[in-house]
Amino acid sequence: MTPLAGYLLLAAVLFCIGLAAALTRRNAIVVLIGIELMLNAANLNFIAFWQFGAHPAPVTGIMFALFAIGIAAAEAAVGLALVIAVYRHYRTTNMDEINELQG
């Protein structure tokens, strides 16, 4: 196994753990944690490909990762603000109980 494949596999496992958490946990905050894990797995791939793979310019992979980190921060802020707003309204963060849109 090449080092790149190792990092890719690590990222894949991390991504799937995040995905499973987002799909199965009831608590909205853990769902957000799962999404963060998925984003981080993608970032790891960017850096791994930048280091080991072919790239057009020396800084491309780094740029991708930096912007992804910045956007992930924005995503976390808005997501957690939504969780807090939902909690204010429904007095719960349990995703299964927030089912008004199901009609």
- Residue 34 interacts with other proteins (CB under 8 A): yes or no: yes
If the CB atoms of residues 96 and 100 are measured against other proteins, the closer one turns out to be 96
- Residue 101 interacts with other proteins (CB under 8 A): yes or no: no
Q: Burial-class residue 31 by CB neighbours within 10 Å (0-12, 13-18, 19+).
A: buried
Query: In the bound complex, what is the minimum distance in angstroms from residue 38's beta carbon to other proteins?
Result: 10
- Residue 72 interacts with other proteins (CB under 8 A): yes or no: yes
Q: If binding means CB under 8 A, how many residues of this protein chain bind other proteins?
A: 74
Query: In the bound complex, what is the minimum distance in angstroms from residue 102's beta carbon to other proteins?
Result: 14
CA distance 81 to 79: 5
CA distance 86 to 99: 12
CA distance 24 to 18: 10
CA distance 39 to 56: 23
Query: In the bound complex, what is the minimum distance in angstroms from residue 101's beta carbon to other proteins?
Result: 16
Query: In the bound complex, what is the minimum distance in angstroms from residue 42's beta carbon to other proteins?
Result: 11
